[in-house]
Amino acid sequence: MRRQKIFHKYHLLSFVISVQAYLYSTYINSTAAKLGFSFTQIGLVNLILSIAYAIASVTLGHVGTRYGYKRTISFLALYLFIVSLFGLLENSSTGLVVFAVLQGVFFGAFFPQVEGLIAKSESLLRIDPPSITGRFTLSWSTGNIIGVAFGPFLTVRAPGVIFVVGLIISGMTNLLVSLDYQKFGDTITFTPSRKLLEHSQNASVVTNKNAMRKLRLEYRIILFLGGLIYTSVLASFPKLMMLAGLKLENAGFLTVGANIGVLLTFVILQSWKGWVGNEYFCGILLSVVPMTGLIAFFAKNPLTFFLTALFAGFSYAVPYTFAIFYGLLSEEEEHGKQGALHEMVIGLLFGVGPLVGGILFDKFGGNLGLLVYAFSISVVIYLIQLLFNFSRKQKNQATK
């Protein structure tokens, strides 16, 4: 009898690739800070990167649905090997921008494949829907903690290590996923724990596809808005900390508060699933967005910088959890398409957030700029939630 499991090897793959994704993103932002880029220039680099990410998501993200998820992942791993080799050899401002675009294409195309593969395979195994999305988000969020924490440190001390790790990971991914495809085909083979097969306490919401589609749209919009704060913090904190007199090589150990916030949110929302369809509770959770701005205004030392990053992570992870849940589970036969659209939103916010944040930071100063940013976004988020809720109530009354 096979041993029952909670996680499987594709959660491990998501974890490992996430480590590399954030090693590369922190390398890009830390190197830009070292080269003397302004906040706005750092934002522009991130915008270019995010456009590449978003385009790759919508054009290549659903390729796995037609040609096979595992075959697509193997091909993308070869591409990442070439990109990592380029990054190892480049050493100029122009080369940094080119590298940012190339690696953005990989991650924009990769994550929809693994999202789609996991959603498809685990749905066939009848795993509880919140457990499908929750375990996936836990796998990559633990990986990005490592990438963010050590990226700036390695950028200063030993940047070549970042790319050597990329070469190793991409080579091993190609080999192991190809072998797995030959042996098991385009599905994930594992014996899930009985805990994962428990029926969702929110089954009425999950089975109501019309409600799921509307909630999907609502929280993709709110994810984009809440994520602007998170991505702005990740991109701008290395330079902001340098201006505050902190060492660049230690910036990651404070910025990682954002990723710890993401992980904590995922753990909590995975443990208690009462948030599914509970708009009132979701509104309370979204208050972390204005709280991020308040804390940022007083950020002058390592502790307050860490707390600002922590709440920025909350601001991203709360709507992310809702968006990916409603996105991947609202269309049973379109896992690849929904994963691609979800990653397109992620890609765009990783560009727009740093750019708009950079402009505000240059205009008002980092701390006040982040306060203005967070409060403005909060107003829009709550207006959107009120509009969607009002629309649902109007429709419900009309059908009675």
Residue-wise pLDDT tens digits, 114-139: 988 998 898 888 887 767 877 888 88
Q: What is the pLDDT of residue 159?
A: 93
Q: Are 16 and 143 in contact (CB under 8 A)?
A: yes
- Average pLDDT of the chain is 85
Mean pLDDT value of segment 9-25: 95
The owner of tokens 């380029």 is: 86
Q: What is the pLDDT of residue 383?
A: 94
The counts of H helices and E strands in the chain are 16, 0
According to DSSP, the residues that pair with 5 across neighbouring strands are: 192
What are residue 153's phi and psi, to 5 degrees? -60, -45
pLDDT number for residue 209: 64
Query: What pLDDT is stored for residue 58 in this prediction?
Result: 83
Of the pLDDT bands very low, low, confident and very high (cuts 50, 70, 90), residue 208 is low
The arithmetic mean of pLDDT across residues 193-204, rounded, is: 66
Residues 99, 159 contacting (CB under 8 angstroms): no
How long a stretch of residues is the chain? 400
Once rounded to an integer, what is the mean pLDDT over residues 348-370? Answer: 83
Give residue for tokens 């991650």.
Answer: 107
pTM over cut 0.85: no
The secondary structure of residue 332, as a DSSP letter, is: T
Locus of tokens 């919140």? 130
Residue 310 pLDDT > 90, yes or no? yes
Pairwise CA distance, residues 279 & 319, whole Å: 12
Q: What is the 3-state secondary structure (H, E, C) of 98-141?
A: HHHHHHHHHHHHHHHHHHHHHHHHHHHCCCCHHHHHHHHHHHHH
pLDDT of residue 207: 56
pLDDT greater at residue 166 or residue 65: 166
Where does residue 157 rank: exposed (0-12), middle (13-18), buried (19+ CB within 10 A)?
Answer: exposed
What was the pLDDT predicted at 338?
61
CA distance 59 to 261: 31
**Stretch 93-114: mean pLDDT:** 93
Residue 180 scores a pLDDT above 90 = yes
Start-to-end C-alpha separation, the chain: 52
